[in-house]
Amino acid sequence: MKQDGRRRDGLHPAAGAIVSRAMAEGDIGRPVAVEAGALHGRPLRYFDFVMAAFVTILLLSNVIGAGKRAVVDLPFIGPWPFGAGILFFPVSYVLGDVLTEVYGYARARRCIWAGFCAMLFMVFMSWVVVALPPDKGWTGQEAYESVFGQVPRIVLASICAFWAGEFANSLVLAKMKILTRGRHLWTRTIGSTVVGQGVDSLIFYPLAFFGAPDWPAQAMLKVMASQFILKVSWEVLLTPATYAVVGFLKRREGVDVYDQHTNFTPFRTRV
């Protein structure tokens, strides 16, 4: 037993009492390492806000960004086309990292399911609204269909890839946190993103475009590789911001959560 009262695994034995005191007193400074189960049933100051931001960015990046193909003029390369959604969709992975690192796998899992259900409702609502017969005086049906009338195959691929990629990202980060004993956050955020985005890309592009006209296998693999590199690069560039957000939330919540005894099945929403 260490002098500060922590167990060999680094977690405090009086976690429940410390969590309650931390939440009652406000910012206590250095967060206390606790097992995820110690948070059960206790209110958390910023969890709802982070979950709302996660779901919002996820939906908007799929609705607003996915429908536009943009181009940037790169030095020594020339014009390089890319999907506009790539500018903001990786932020959902950053928030996924923040959720798992600060609040634990179980609460991140709850947010992933919230995002998954929100995407399903978005798809259903888009289908219903597009299918409604337009008024004779309204001339925007064609433009509306071009934005919201998504191809079912691509929609299915996007939802499946999101679900698998986010869970892979969260699982790897939670396991790496235990392995590294909470040190070297950058290894967890980047390492989990490499796995999560890899799973996402390996599911989405073959499921959405393999065998499709104008999508030869070589072109599909090139786009898949370039998008993967860009998304991971975004994670690397946002590492300082991730450190700042994680540090702020841990100090304000007063705890540093570890998933030592968490059930890692994705098929539940309880925390």
- Domains, the chain, in order of start with CATH, read 44-133+149-258 (1.10.1760)
Query: DSSP state, 81?
Result: E
The model's pLDDT over 173-226, given as tens digits with 9 standing for 90+, comes to 999 999 999 999 999 999 999 999 999 999 999 998 898 887 888 888 888 888
Say how far apart CA 96 and CA 109 lie, in whole Å. Answer: 9
Q: What is the pLDDT of residue 199?
A: 97
Could you tell me the pLDDT band of residue 1, with boundaries at 50, 70 and 90?
very low
For 151-172, what is the mean pLDDT? 92
For 113-140, what is the mean pLDDT? 92
What residues contact 44, with CB distance under 8 A and at least 6 apart?
A: 23, 103, 253
Q: Where are the alpha helices (DSSP H) in the chain?
A: 15-25, 47-60, 89-103, 105-131, 141-148, 152-180, 185-209, 217-237, 239-253
Residue type, 34: V
Q: What is the pLDDT of residue 193?
A: 95
Cβ proximity of 257 and 36 under 8 Å: yes
Could you tell me the pLDDT band of residue 132, with boundaries at 50, 70 and 90?
very high
Cβ proximity of 57 and 92 under 8 Å: yes
Find how far residue 138's CA is from the centre of its chain.
38
Angle formed at CA 182 by CA 238 and CA 47, multiple of 5 degrees: 65
Say how far apart CA 180 and CA 178 lie, in whole Å. Answer: 6
CA-CA distances (angstroms) from residue 226 to 129, 155, 193, 219?
34, 21, 15, 11
Does pLDDT of 19 surpass 80? no
Does pLDDT of 10 surpass 70? no
Mean pLDDT of the chain: 86
Could you tell me the pLDDT band of residue 9, with boundaries at 50, 70 and 90?
low
What residues contact 113, with CB distance under 8 A and at least 6 apart?
A: 269
Say how far apart CA 92 and CA 86 lie, in whole Å. Answer: 11
For 61-83, what is the mean pLDDT? 75
Does pLDDT of 259 surpass 90? yes
Q: Which two tokens stand for residue 120?
A: 């399903």
Say how far apart CA 50 and CA 190 lie, in whole Å. Answer: 20
